[in-house]
Structure 1
Amino acid sequence: MAADDTAAHGPQFEVDPVVLELGRRFAEAGFELSLVGGPVRDLFLGRTSPDLDFTTDATPDETLSVVKGWADAHWDIGREFGTIGLRKGRHQIEVTTYRAEAYDSASRKPEVAFGTSLEADLGRRDFSMNAMALRLPSLTLVDPFGGLADLRAGILRTPGTPELSFSDDPLRMMRAARFASQLRVGVAPEVRAAMAGMAERITIVSAERVRDELVKLVNGAEPRTGIDLLVETGLAEHVIPEVPALRLEADEHHRHKDVYHHSLTVLEQAAELETGPDGAVPGPDFVLRFAALMHDVGKPATRRFEPGGGVTFRHHDVVGSKLVKKRMKALRFDNDTIKAVARLVELHMRFYGYGEAGWSDSAVRRYVTDAGPLLERLHRLTRSDVTTRNQRKADRLAFAYDDLERRIAELAEQEELASIRPDLDGQQIMAILGVRPGPLVGRAYKFLLEERMEHGPASEEEARERLLAWWAQQPESASAAESVESKEH
């Protein structure tokens, strides 16, 4: 489709009035302005973009002069890249001067040069479906690279050669996998080939930028498709190498399932168990999804072939948790997210002891306490981990987990399972034992917590008796008694 040949007026467009208003302001000031990129693509998809991106021939200073007095707020943190940020009502807006940017082969920072035309600006964008613009205020579609046709065909292509596009910004390779997940689109063969040939270039991109694309991919509509593309092109070897490592060679007896495809299925099933906004685990939930993807990454390091032909992965949950922490730290995730994902990976095998032998009330309490605020996610991860084709086995595991959840609910009615504490606090412990703050109080507190876990809630008098019985067995108790006796004599 040639540039400037389609008037985009019509019922398929419901452009927010603020878009036309801003377009008129720039036109009256003698500048060009176009809505560009994702917001234009989303118009054709019938979606509303949360942010509005514009491009213009105005310089950043000229943009500021145009929006002064109109925008509710503005900031120029991206001025060196030609971008001015605005807020107008509920809208977050970015206006960027026409530009061209390229990455030096050894640099993580883009080299920015301002451009002179809309068509040239569109030519430097990542994919053709994002290289469309609406000239304002006329709402004329500008689509020099066939983005609308590609969008309708569901195929991801680049405006120029993919090699040139990915050389300009290697993160675009990650973005291709993200769009495959988010938009359910395929990737053109030449784009896939370039991703495979240039995968190592992703290493010059900052960990933070890679992380952000990975989160969007995992939270997409079809995360399996995006992850599979990363693995098949070799990008995953540089971003999340633990995932392609799951493609274990099958043992000669084929007695263990494909861990890689199993993990992708668990990811899909976990996403299906997410809830609506008011539910226990509103989706998309990155912590649950990433834990599902990574839950078995400890298996390659723990795989052992047994004499009878069997295969074991002992302690892969603990090993996997450590690997997840290391990888997420390298990708600059925040500590809370790292701890949550790693904890779910560590706990994902815990339930199987219940399914095999049943648990005491004490074990149920420990399960809830160890999961803490992750309990609802752990429920979903554990259920998602069942991918067997043996329906009888699947039904047995589902029945066992139903029973565990029932028992948790019953105990929760009787006790405060979500915040189990000893029946005596630190002040009471010190008063009963006649001791000052110190490590001894911590040991006593831990003992009472174990008693609470093992036997359930007790009255204050019962707890006092148990504490005194414990105290009688402690070396400090004997020392205190000897001291009293020596003073009496």
Structure 2
Amino acid sequence: MPKANVDTPTPPSAPELSHVQRSAVSELLRVSPVADDLARRFEEAGFRLALVGGSVRDALLGRLGNDLDFTTDARPEAVLRIVRPWADAVWDVGIAFGTVGCRKAAAGDGGRQDFQIEITTYRSEAYDRASRKPEVRYGDTIEEDLVRRDFTVNAMAVALPRKEFVDPHHGLEDLAERVLRTPGTPEQSFSDDPLRMMRAARFAAQLGFEVAPEVVAAMTAMADRIGIVSAERVRDELNKLILGAHPRRGLQLLVDTGLAAHVLPELPALILERDEHHRHKDVYEHTLTVLEQAIALEEDGPDLVLRLAALLHDIGKPRTRRFEKDGRVSFHHHEVVGAKMTTARMRKLKYPNEQIKEVARLVELHLRFHGYGTGEWTDSAVRRYVRDAGPLLDRLHKLTRSDCTTRNKRKALALSRAYDGLEERIASLKQQEELDAIRPDLDGNEIMEILGIPPGPEVGTAYRHLLELRLEKGPLGRKAAVAELKDWWAARS
């Protein structure tokens, strides 16, 4: 599409692309105080500056935030000279890849706002087949820069300060059709950076876009190329996909193209074969449904730990599957095996240790509710459930409720009522006891004083005994706890 200059914003009209352009300009007016000021500084220094990529795409979609991406013909050292006197803060951690970052506060319609800005020199990059790092080469024109972008919807720019729209690869048309295509051939694009295959799935999950058939074909043929990309970059794309509005769409694309077999092989492994003698639920479809149901229960925005736990909660089933003599299929202890597999996979993907512990713990506990049976819960069982879940209790509630995907309405209603009863029981006990921080009635110092023993393993043994009593009987009070401790010590002696 040729360059176009649009000065007057009007309400967007999907069939008329010029109106969509004007909608983008309307979005740009909000960020003009900072964008135009920066562009003029580049112009005065003899360089060009354009808003580019996701920022333009999001402006066209009416969802431009305060994170702004720019491209320029200025080399990184020149960019630093221009922005250092202007920005509130500057960082150059990405300068080896031609990117300079900065932060700038500016007044706008909604008051003073902080803008996070990245400015990247026109460039092209490609992976060596045996390397995990791209080779960066600088370019001289914006058209040269745009052709190396991942998808046409991200290969549009708005030259500033004149607001000249640049779209040489018909990204605006693809945006209107909600389809992902590459500026050049998908094979060349994915060869340059194999992570773009993951990005296709991520954008499908975030934006709900379709992926063009030729792009899907290239992803399928080149899936093994993802192996040269670092685990950290793969993890970051996977997280964005899972946190998207339509994660099922992105995950299915990963599985269908074979990418999941390289980055998350436990997911396609859930597609267990069926036969006429051993019928069972489709664990893969069940997992995607559990994920969607967990998302529906989120209260404060996307929760990565909850979503990962929902996605991984049944990955132990293929390893524990057994065909019983009566024709049933069992998965005994799959939650324990699944927790270990979760830990191993998340470590390979370089997740933070705390997230690994939280997700693995939820996977391990997700069947605990069913293990108590349908009878009345004892106070001791409730205390242990709360103690074992700890700060993950709210997420465990959501995961357990989401794990019910039966089409049997009577069974589903019974499970829901049973869990309602559990939550009511927890709330009732919380009013009586400090369930959120269950501890013995006596601490270590008191134990040593009462028993007349020095610090050592026996203090820990005594503490654990009192904790078990606390879980079983509830708060004892100091007098009763002292008596219990002395009786236990005498019997032990």
TM norm. shorter chain > 0.5? yes
Name the structure 1 match of 2:490. 472
Q: Which amino acid aligns with 1:44?
A: L
Name the structure 1 match of 2:4. 5
Partner Cα separation in structure 2 for residue 50 and residue 361 of structure 1: 50
Q: 1:14 aligns with which of 27, 32, 36?
A: 27
Alignment of 1:33-432 (within 5 A): 33-89=49-105, 90-253=114-277, 255-275=279-299, 282-432=300-450
- Asked if residue 452 in structure 1 is aligned to residue 470 in structure 2, the reply is yes
Q: Which amino acid aligns with 1:350?
A: R
2:326 alignment partner, SS class: coil
Partner Cα separation in structure 2 for residue 355 and residue 406 of structure 1: 17
> How far does the alpha carbon of each residue in 1:126-165 deviate from its partner, in whole angstroms, 9 at most, with x for none?
0000000000001111011111111111100000000000
- Asked if residue 27 in structure 1 is aligned to residue 43 in structure 2, the reply is yes
Shift, 1:254, TM fit:
5.2
Partner Cα separation in structure 2 for residue 425 and residue 68 of structure 1: 56
Q: Would you say the 8 A contact 2:126–2:134 is kept in 1?
A: yes
Shift, 1:8, TM fit:
5.9
Partner Cα separation in structure 2 for residue 434 and residue 80 of structure 1: 64
Q: Would you say the 8 A contact 1:355–1:397 is kept in 2?
A: no
Q: Which amino acid aligns with 2:6?
A: A
Shift, 1:71, TM fit:
1.1
2:301 alignment partner, SS class: coil
Q: Which amino acid aligns with 1:152?
A: A
Partner Cα separation in structure 2 for residue 284 and residue 178 of structure 1: 15
Runs of 4+ in 1 over 3 A off after TM superposition: none
Q: Which amino acid aligns with 1:181?
A: A
1:255 alignment partner, SS class: coil
1:86 alignment partner, SS class: strand
1:351 alignment partner, SS class: helix
Shift, 1:9, TM fit:
4.2
Partner Cα separation in structure 1 for residue 254 and residue 463 of structure 2: 49
Q: Which amino acid aligns with 1:408?
A: I
Work out the number of aligned pairs and report it: 468
Q: Which amino acid aligns with 2:489?
A: W
Distance 1:8 1:314, change over 3 A: farther
Partner Cα separation in structure 2 for residue 42 and residue 184 of structure 1: 14
Q: Would you say the 8 A contact 2:278–2:327 is kept in 1?
A: no
Shift, 1:283, TM fit:
2.0
> How far does the alpha carbon of each residue in 1:362-384 deviate from its partner, in whole angstroms, 9 at most, with x for none?
00000001000000000000000
Moved more, 62-71 or 463-472: 62-71
Partner Cα separation in structure 1 for residue 85 and residue 428 of structure 2: 61
Q: Which amino acid aligns with 1:167?
A: S
1:356 alignment partner, SS class: coil
Partner Cα separation in structure 1 for residue 459 and residue 275 of structure 2: 53
2:9 alignment partner, SS class: coil
Partner Cα separation in structure 2 for residue 306 and residue 467 of structure 1: 48
2:372 alignment partner, SS class: helix
Partner Cα separation in structure 1 for residue 406 and residue 91 of structure 2: 54
> How far does the alpha carbon of each residue in 1:333-387 deviate from its partner, in whole angstroms, 9 at most, with x for none?
0000000000000000000133523321000000001000000000000000000
1:58 alignment partner, SS class: coil
* Structure 2: gaps (5+ residues): 11-22, 106-113
Partner Cα separation in structure 2 for residue 195 and residue 310 of structure 1: 38
> How far does the alpha carbon of each residue in 1:303-327 deviate from its partner, in whole angstroms, 9 at most, with x for none?
0000010010000000000000000
Q: Which amino acid aligns with 1:220?
A: G
TM-score by length of structure 2 reads: 0.93
Shift, 1:252, TM fit:
2.1
Shift, 1:231, TM fit:
0.4
Shift, 1:5, TM fit:
2.8
Distance 1:8 1:448, change over 3 A: farther
Shift, 1:454, TM fit:
0.2
Partner Cα separation in structure 1 for residue 439 and residue 205 of structure 2: 44
Q: Would you say the 8 A contact 1:37–1:132 is kept in 2?
A: yes
Partner Cα separation in structure 2 for residue 440 and residue 311 of structure 1: 46
Moved more, 381-390 or 67-76: 67-76
2:90 alignment partner, SS class: strand
2:158 alignment partner, SS class: strand
Query: What is the Cα-based RMSD across aligned positions, in Å?
Result: 1.0
- Asked if residue 463 in structure 1 is aligned to residue 463 in structure 2, the reply is no
Shift, 1:214, TM fit:
0.5
Partner Cα separation in structure 1 for residue 367 and residue 222 of structure 2: 38
1:473 alignment partner, SS class: helix
Q: Which amino acid aligns with 2:445?
A: Q
Q: Would you say the 8 A contact 2:5–2:162 is kept in 1?
A: no
1:101 alignment partner, SS class: strand
1:112 alignment partner, SS class: strand
> How far does the alpha carbon of each residue in 1:252-285 deviate from its partner, in whole angstroms, 9 at most, with x for none?
245310000000000000000000xxxxxx2200
TM-score by length of structure 1 reads: 0.94
Shift, 1:450, TM fit:
0.1
